[in-house]
Structure formats: structure tokens, C-alpha cells
Amino acid sequence: MNTLQQIRFVWKPIIFLLCLIPATLVVTDAFELTGRLGANPIEEIQDRFGNWALRFIMITLTVTPLRRVTQWNWLSRFRRMLGLFTFFYAFTHFLTWLILDQEMLLSAILEDLTERPFITLGFAAVVLLTALAITSFTAIRRRMGRNWQKLHNMAYAVAILGVWHYWWQVKKDVTEPQIYAAILAVLLGARIFWHWAHDRKKLTTARLVRQQP
Amino acid sequence: MLIKKPADIRPSEITSESNYLKRRDFMRAGAIAGGSLFASGAMGAVIPDGRLAKLASIAKSSFSTTETPNSFEDISTYNNFYEFGMRKVDPFENSQEFKPRPWTIEVAGHAEKTGRYDFDDFMKPFDLEERIYRMRCVEAWSMVIPWVGVPLADVVKHFKPTSKARYVAFETLNDPEQMPGLHGRSLKWPYREGLTIAEATNPLAILAVGIYGNVIPNQNGAPIRLVTPWKYGFKGIKSIVKINFTATRPKTSWNMAAPREYGFYANVNPKVNHPRWSQARERRIGAGIFAGKHETLMFNGYGEHVAHLYKDLNLRRNF
């Protein structure tokens, strides 16, 4: 097997199964096979899915900077799958809220969406993620051309909305939201820095070209 | 790696609900047959010094709800007690080494009788009652808890507050050695709460010392805590070391931390939402994943006993 085949047939399935572990644990804990969901299982399920959605968007956004630093270009092969797992956990988090927490009660859902800013933020993030998930197929990506990258830059907005949603949701202790915010700041900061360095280099090159007789 | 010490007693080892219910039948039968020797409670409250030791001479109360109480496991593993950490299971996991005895309570302020009292002496003048109350947390979940305690009104009257006393202020123990949550700055320590004199002398208010007929577990506020069932749970200050009769409204911890979100009164009110979530409905712990929520009642369903206290008050502003 060559490297590409190894990634496709060995590493991708392994990573795929690893990414499913948190969701599997929710199910097995619900039946008390591996652990327990505690006295308030709905809150526990919702928190776990939400937390994993945040972790996965951080992991997904780490791929490109890590690849740049390490020169491990094969890393980018996992980016779509990780992004789709972000969507998966965000969507299950959303479904837990919709079905188990709000019991599909339209009035309660509308009230939450319009009157609780942290829910509005979370909902916006899920809507954006859904758009990114739908357009993640290779065929659609090709057809969209340059617009695809523009749309998928919204991943940064999703991450910001997600952390903000978490920050506003907690009752008192914002330690965990602060940790996510710090990680996100580093991930976005690195991109801004590289972008700026790249622009400077281009400018310098342009000047040098101009100076030549 | 963090290795958690196992608790000395698992919740499942403690009197099961079925045994507990049987005991209630037994006591009821005894009360009928023996001219209510058990229920007379004329000896004063004696609180044994032992983890979850059985309490004796507990009278029934007509204030108790007939709703089924939550399991002891739910009550003792899911609650807020930030002195032991901020997760719901932290109080259970981090309070097992806590020493609720010996214990001293300071009574201070505008009262004829003040001073420092040993817990046993403090309790002696009062009679134990069982009060099965609904408990509504400000986070929109609820439980039914079979407390054992003494009416706060009896305690207030015993210390003879003067006419200057308009409020009763309470403080929790502030001992970082025993309470790991106190190392954090989540709230301003010690935890503080307060009631108006009228609220404190309302017959619903109790100082609880037990749950399910046994001494109250550390994580639920041993050895003595406040229970005001018509208010959100955070008013129920735990592990009380100081009772102060004051002329001015005392500062209260959650109100100090977020005055827009938590008021002094903190009466359960489905019409006044928390700025970040609805208070219209609540989730009953232990009801199961698909049980759904139910409507929250004004004053948590205790309006007939307490609504008159607030008849001249704008409850939207004084939330």
C-alpha cells in the first residue's frame, strides 16, 4: 500500500472510530454499561455533546497550523472528517435540546431562540455548520469553485459563536469557556500572523521587482 | 493523575426508599397504637454525632407534600454547594472528609440572647419535624426532599430579637482546609444569605438537620442548613455558623455575584425569567429522560402560606 492508500484504508477508519467514542459512551452510559449519566441525564447528555462539538472545532482548526509547522501535509486528509464530526456533535447537542429538553414544544423553542441570546448564538452556529456539512462533498466543492472557500471560512465564525454560546450559558465559573477562548485565540492569531507575514513578503518582493532597472 | 478517595458510605448502602417508607408505616402504626409516643417530640432535639445516624422523635407535619420524594442517591449526589466545587457531583465527592461535629453557632446582633452555642445546646430547645418539601433550583430543576428539621420561627423566637431586628442574616463555615471550593473565587466567601424577620418566622421556614430520617449528609449542608421551599434553592444556606439579627438588609452571596440575575428575595416565580433562561417550567430530577418538564408554580406551590408576605411588593422588580 502506498501512503495515500494507508491513510484511506487504515488511518481514516481508525480515526473515525476514535471520534465516535464519546457518542458511544453516552449510549452505553445511558444503559449503565460503562458508567452513569447521573441524576440529571438530559443535562449530562447535552453538556457532553456540546463539549465535544467545541473540542472538535478546536481540533479541526488545529489541522492547518499544525501541518504548516510540521510540514506533515497528510494531516489535511483528515480535516473534512474532523469538521464533519464537529457538525455531528453540534447537531446531536442541538437535537438533545430540541427533543429531550424542549420536547419539541414550539412556543418554548421560539421563546428560547428569540429571548435567550446564548441559544440564538448556538443556533446560528448549528445553521452555519449544517451549510458547511452539506457543501463538504467533493462534487459540490468543485461546482462551487472559489465560493466554496469563502463559505468554509465561516468555520472561524462557528468557533467564535460556539465559545461565546458556552461563555454566556455558564452560571458562574467561566474557566472552561476561557480555556476554549484562549485556544481559539492562538489558532486564529497564528492565521492572522501568517497572513500578515505573507502580505509583507509579497510587498517586499513587489518593491524589489519595481526597483530593478 | 487525580485519584479520588472513595466515599466511606455509598448512597446505596443507606436506608433504601422502600425500607424508609416501611419505617414510616411502622411509625404511623406506632403513633396510632401507642398514643404517639414517637410523634410527641417533647424531649427536644438530640442530634447524634455520627454519619447518617438515625434521628429519633420526629413529628409529622401537615406542611409536607404527598408527592413521592426523590431517591436518597439523587438528593445526595446532585446538588450545588460551591464550597466543595462547582459540578453537581462535587459536593458528594469532596465533602466526605468534612467534620460537621463539634460545631459552634454564633448568634449575634439585635437580640436579647446572643453568644456562641455548641450545636447540641443550640438544638436542645426545639422539636424535630419531618417536612417533605419541593425544592426548586434557580437552574430550573427540582426535587422533593424529606427534610428533618426545626421551625426557624421557634429558633428566632427563642433568641428574642429586639424591635430593631428586621432581618436575619446567615453565614456558612469558611474553612478552606475542609472545603476545597473556597480556594476558588467563584463567590465572595463566606457564603451569605438572609431573610426578613417575617420570612424567617413563617411556619414553612425550617433549619434542617436531617434527610430521610437520618442525620443530614455533609454534602447537603451538615450539620444544619436553612430550607425555604417557596424560594430558589440558593437561599437555603448550608453548614451555618452564624445567625445575625440585623436592622439593615444583609448582603447575600449570589446577589453580590450577579445582582441582575439573583435578587434578595429569590421567590420562585414562573413569570419572572432569569435573564438567561426561562423559569416557566422545571425538570423534576429522577423522572427519567423522556418525562419532560412541568409548569413551575408561583412560590413553588406554597402561595397560600407565603403570598401575604409580598402583597405590597412588586415581584418583578424585587425578584
Does A12 map to a domain? no
Choice between B34 and A130, residue whose per-residue pLDDT is larger: A130
Q: Is residue A73 part of a domain?
A: yes
Give contacts of A 117-136 with B, CB under 8 A.
117-118
Q: In A, which residues are within 8 Å of B277 by CB distance?
A: 116
pLDDT of residue A4: 86
Query: CB of A18 within 8 A of CB of A10?
Result: no
Determine, for residues B278 and A111 on separate chains, whether the beta-carbon distance falls below 8 Å.
yes
What is the Cα–Cα distance from B113 to B221, expressed in whole angstroms? Answer: 25
Q: Considering the domain boundaries, does residue A4 fall inside one?
A: no
Q: A11 lies in a domain? A: no
Task: Identify the pLDDT of residue B43.
Answer: 67
**Domain range holding A180?**
22-211
In this complex, do A103 and B293 lie within 8 Å of one another by their Cβ atoms? yes
Q: Which sequence spans correspond to the domains of chain B?
A: 59-310
Distance, CA of B283 to CA of B301 (rounded, Å): 15
Cβ-based burial of A18 (10 A; exposed 0-12, middle 13-18, buried ≥19): exposed
pLDDT at A104: 87
- Residue B20's pLDDT is 58
Chain A interface test: which of B262, B273, B289, B290 (most A C-beta within 10 Å)? B289
pLDDT in tens, chain B (319 residues): 445 554 455 554 555 555 555 555 555 444 444 444 444 445 689 999 999 999 999 999 999 999 999 999 999 999 999 999 999 999 999 999 999 999 999 999 999 999 999 999 999 999 999 999 999 999 999 999 999 999 999 999 999 999 999 999 999 999 999 999 999 888 999 999 999 999 999 999 999 999 999 999 999 999 999 999 999 999 999 999 999 999 999 999 999 999 999 999 999 999 999 988 899 999 999 998 888 899 999 999 999 999 999 999 999 999 9
Inside any domain, residue A86:
yes
Interface predicted TM-score (ipTM) of this complex, two decimals: 0.80
**A33-55 pLDDT, tens per residue?**
998 899 999 999 999 999 999 99
User: Residue B9: what pLDDT?
Assistant: 55
Within a domain: residue A166? yes
The answer to whether position A194 is within a domain reads yes
Convert B250-287 into a string of H (helix), E (strand) and C (coil).
Answer: CCCHHHHHCCCCCCCCCECCCCCCECCECCCEEEECCC
Looking at the domain B59-310, which fold is it?
A: Sulfite Oxidase; Chain A, domain 2 (3.90.420)
- Give dist(CA B88, CA B267) in Å, integer: 22
Q: What is the DSSP string of A131-174?
A: HHHHTTSHHHHHHHTHHHHHHHTHHHHHHHHHHHHHHHH-SS--
Task: Report d(CA B222, CA B217) in Å as an integer.
Answer: 6
- Nearest Cβ partner for A172 among B73, B78, B257: B257
pLDDT of residue B33: 45
Q: What is the pLDDT of residue B22?
A: 58
**Selection from A203, A202, A119, A195 nearest residue A156 by Cα:** A195
Q: Name the pairing type of β-strands B281-284 and B141-151.
A: parallel
Closest residue of chain A to B181, computed from CA coordinates: A173
Contact status of B184 with chain A (Cβ, < 8 Å): yes
The three grid cell numbers given for residue A212, joined into one nine-digit string: 530593478
Contact A39 B78 (CB under 8 A): yes
CB contact under 8 A, A116 and B276: yes
Shortest alpha-carbon distance between residue B75 and chain A (Å): 9
Sheet holding B167-172, edge to edge: B115-118, B104-109, B240-246, B167-172, B192-196
Residue at A111 is within a domain: yes
Residue A172: list chain B partners with CB under 8 A.
82, 86, 186-187, 257-258
> What domain count does chain A have?
1
pLDDT for A137: 94
pLDDT at A86 over 60: yes
Which chain B residues contact residue A26 at CB under 8 A?
none
